[in-house]
Chains A and B, each alone.
Chain A
Amino acid sequence: MRLVSRFTSVGVLGLVAGIGLAACSDSAPNRPAAKTSAVTAVTQYAGTPARVRRMTPDQYTNTISYVFGDDLSIGEPFAPLPRTDGLLASGASSAGMTAGELQQLQRSASQIAAQVVDKGNPGERTSPRRDFLVPCKPAALDAVDDACAAKFIKQTGRLLYRHTLSDATVTDLVGSARKGATELKDFYAGLATVIEGMLIDPGVLLITDTAESDPNHPGKKRLTAYALASRLSFFLWDAAPDDALLKAAESGALYTKKGRAAAVDAMIASPRLAAGVRAFFDDMFGFEEFVITAKDPKTYPMITGQTLVDAREQTLRTVTDHLITRRGDYRDLFLTRNTFISPTLAPVYGVPSTTGWSPYEFPADAHRAGILSQISFLALHSHPARSSATKRGKALRELLLCQRVPPPPPNVDFSAVENPDPTLRTARERLTRHSINPVCAGCHKITDPIGLALETFDGAGRYREAEKGVKLDTSGSLDGKTFNSSEGLGQALHDHPQLASCLVKRVYSFGTGGPLSAADTPAVEALSTAFAQTGYKVPDLLRMIALSDAFAEVVEIPPAPAKSAAAGQHQVAQ
């Protein structure tokens, strides 16, 4: 099929960030005169490189659900993305696609197309989707109807390609529909070939930051209105723009302060914001690891496959409830006792549940405060049959503080851990051995004092006060702040200056579609300051980023990717 070849010509070669699309910027980023107003300050920074990103699996699914309904079976069209600079979303700007993946994608597209034009089956109580997804009836089922095909293609194509289709494109696609209908003697079958083609078209699958000259800032570039609409929508909703946002792009409203603010406010007020926030935190927390996480059923019989699915969901529900519904302080995510419980999680927490999900507040003496004490963090960063203070400490630093813990040296001797001395009964006793070995000590001293505070939770996330009969010592420190319990660790993390700034970096990367560079530092710093001024309210942070000049302006790709502090990575002090 011709559309496949169009895709492969771009896709298989690899989607390197900014290929041929980087706009030139002939001026240095503006610096704010004063950081008096959070929003005005950050809007003065410009900008980000133009990128080409592959849609993430969730973005594809959410887009298909918006355009065709959420009852379609979509399958698994994409392979996982590479994690880059702390986010899978950033990996989308440097992801390639193999021929095998393309075949997988085409299979999925074919299934979706068939469902869109499904005529329904009264016996199986399936509805004829074609009746409400195709906005017209063909003159005859077994013949060509260019007018009806054009109507559908214009309407659906605009949503999938995220811009109004040119007349030439519509004519081209109607021709494909005609050819298919003629050969297959079925109008809807012809339409299905066009749908399938659109769903694997690079123009649909790749989010392209097209740029144009900015008339308000001579010599600068800005995203085109459609590209800006896409960036906003994938950022806030994790899906392609809806009709209203495309109209705002078409009318030029997104280029006015008032119009853009109205569009962003409407998106933030929409229930669809939850999808965007969930996608971001699922990415930031590294929850894709749940797919390959399993627990030893003999050691942890209460951890079933569904428990792990629910653990991931619990944290995402806690996050969206705390940050969006309650408009809570981001830092309080690590202190809150409010969460949600499902029947499979309840036995691990030792609390009752109702059918389905229900809100739950842990009692003050429950030792469960903040998402560090939830099963998702505790079980994900443990071994299959035991806890891991090191994994937990490493995850906390890397995922939540944007620090980098160096990997173990290649010649490290793991025997002390894998075949521990049986006389060493607690993790603290075993890990103390690492401090004897200077090769190990350098890294373990930056992870273990954190993780040991969580040793009151076993590898499944169940509460305990002793290990092998020895009372657990949960004292520790995080970058100079000491504590003696998991709740104390939560408080230390809450108070850590890098907690909020790390979030800002990650959100900014997520929104602008790629890893940070040195050029982003001023914007990120200003946003961090402004975020603090809002009381660490995440919806406000999203709004500030979405309304910032930096979000819409396009700059030249920096000469080399930053690996230093400027890129949001900090080597942990040894």
Chain B
Amino acid sequence: MKQNLARAFSVCALGATLAVGGAASADDTIVNNVRDRSIAYAVSGGHWGIYQTGDGKAECPDGLNDVGPRETFKMLFPDDGTKRSVVDTQLAREAAIWAPEDKEYKFPYHLAGGKVGLGLNLDGKVGPNDFTTPDGEKGIDNQLFRAMGCLRWLRGPDGIGYHFSDLYMKQFNYNRALIELTNVDSLADDPDVDVTIYRGLDSLMADATGAKTMPGGTQRIDAKFGQKFITHLKGKIVAGVLTTEPVKEMYWPFAWFGGNPGAQHILDMRMKLKLTQEAANGFIGGYENLEEWYYGLARGRSTHHLAYGSVSAPGVYQAIHKLADAYPDASGKNTAISMAWGTDLTQVFIQRRPQEVAAAPASAPSKSEPAGGRH
């Protein structure tokens, strides 16, 4: 039994550890979770890349959107004594979600403005519609922020969409994306690391405060139903920040709601994450196909849920089509929109079954692997 366990852990647990990655934490305990030149993280939170200021005036000069399903319904169907059928009212509005008309939206819908935004520079250019990050990086492509940034629903920490997206990342194992870095010589600087995305299978462990996810958990890989989530990327680490090269597409486990497992299908995807021994956080950037993304929202969140954040689905539909900035179709109309997904990850160990060990992207042996690590 011990042998089997050792084999299962052969990639991530046993053997020498890298002193280069080790660090004394604030409380002096020695933390080195880079084992056999590998470290892994599991998703423990997530939210859209929405830049926010305290009063929202900088990014939403026209104010936050306050005309959602309830408000539009009242405008369309005032309580004036007119007799109306359910088909002509409630069902008509529901139909408008599933078959939104591609014409001018007639209710107020505020887009985000300003020049500051979060995310990644996807095209390597600095364009007129691009944002600049708060720390000065220019050329940020995140038109989804422009479309959605003034919806209370997505603004943290109390927006319903923000709160539940983050909660579901922790709560639903379906959303347990894993990121494994291999061939890591240093978490601080390494010009060449391999990054693999998987879907994990296991729950996270809350710490004793109940508010945070505890690092050091163990995750199994969903090698059966999670094949479409497996994505390989090349990356580099500079000053503790991992930046990957883009891949053509990636599926990111994403259950908008508990009973609606699905995925974010991100085109031209890459990531930028700040790494520590116990956590990683940053952004996944790329382009979302408009139709896939919109119907993901519609399927995942009912009118009931959207109404709590004054989100008018038809309004969103109009906005994302208006701001789409990539993947033009034959007619020249863009079919995808730039986006950034903020992700929080917590360090985990990956436990591989013996048959998975051989297929794992094992790190090449390091030239020098001094012993160390947290025990």
Residues of A with Cβ closer than 8 Å to B? 295, 297-305, 307, 343-344, 346-355, 358-363, 365-368, 458, 462-469
Contact = CB atoms under 8 A, between A and B. Distances in A.
A363 B5 contact: no
B237 to A, nearest CB: 21
B208 A347 contact: no
Which residue of A307, A363, A366 has the most chain B CB atoms within 10 A of its CB atom? A363
Contacts of B30: 463-465
Contacts of B216: 302, 346-348, 350
A77 B30 CA distance: 44
Nearest to A365: B371
B209 A458 contact: no
Contacts of A361: 2
A360 B209 contact: no
Main secondary structure of the interface of B (DSSP, over half): loop
Nearest to A306: B205
Main secondary structure of the interface of A (DSSP, over half): loop
A-B pairs, 8 with minimum CB distance? A347-B216, A352-B349, A350-B374, A297-B208, A301-B207, A366-B375, A462-B29, A464-B28
B375 A352 contact: no
A471 to B, nearest CB: 10
A354 B13 CA distance: 12
Contacts of B8: 354
Interface of B: 1-2, 5, 8-9, 12-14, 24, 27-33, 202, 205-209, 212, 214-218, 349-351, 371, 373-375
Contacts of B24: 464-466
Contacts of B14: 363
A354 B202 contact: no
Given A301-B212, A301-B214, A368 B5 contact: no
B375 A368 contact: yes
A297 to B, nearest CB: 4
A354 B31 contact: no
Contacts of B29: 458, 462-464
10 contacts: A300-B208, A304-B207, A347-B216, A354-B218, A363-B371, A363-B375, A365-B371, A464-B28, A464-B30, A466-B24
B209 A347 contact: no
A192 B33 CA distance: 58
B13 A351 contact: yes
Nearest to A358: B5
B212 A463 contact: no
Nearest to B215: A347
A301 B208 CA distance: 5
A368 B373 CA distance: 12
B209 to A, nearest CB: 5
B375 A349 contact: yes
A378 to B, nearest CB: 12
Contact of A346 (B2, B5, B27, B218): B218
B205 A344 contact: yes
A304 B5 contact: no
Contacts of A468: 28
B214 A463 contact: no
A343 B205 contact: yes
A367 B28 contact: no
Which residue of A302, A351, A358, A463 has the most chain B CB atoms within 10 A of its CB atom? A351
Given A352-B9, A352-B350, 4 more contacts: A350-B374, A361-B2, A463-B374, A466-B24
Given A464-B28, A468-B28, A303 B13 contact: no
Nearest to A354: B351
Which residue of A305, A344, A353 has the most chain B CB atoms within 10 A of its CB atom? A353
A422 B14 CA distance: 40
Given A352-B13, A352-B349, A354-B351, A303 B208 contact: yes
Nearest to B15: A363
Contacts of B28: 458, 464-469
Contact of A352 (B205, B351, B371): B351
Contacts of A303: 208
A136 B371 CA distance: 67
A469 B29 CA distance: 10
A297 B375 contact: no
A363 B32 CA distance: 14
A273 B27 CA distance: 42
Contact of B208 (A295, A355, A363, A465): A295
A148 B28 CA distance: 69
B217 to A, nearest CB: 6
B375 A351 contact: yes
Contact of A302 (B202, B208, B218, B350): B208
A462 B26 CA distance: 13
A359 B9 CA distance: 12
A337 to B, nearest CB: 10
A353 B375 contact: no
Given A352-B12, A464-B30, A465-B30, A302 B351 contact: no
B94 to A, nearest CB: 39
B262 to A, nearest CB: 26
A343 B375 contact: no
Which residue of A301, A360, A368 has the most chain B CB atoms within 10 A of its CB atom? A301
A427 to B, nearest CB: 12
Contacts of B1: 358-359
A353 B218 CA distance: 6
A463 B28 CA distance: 9
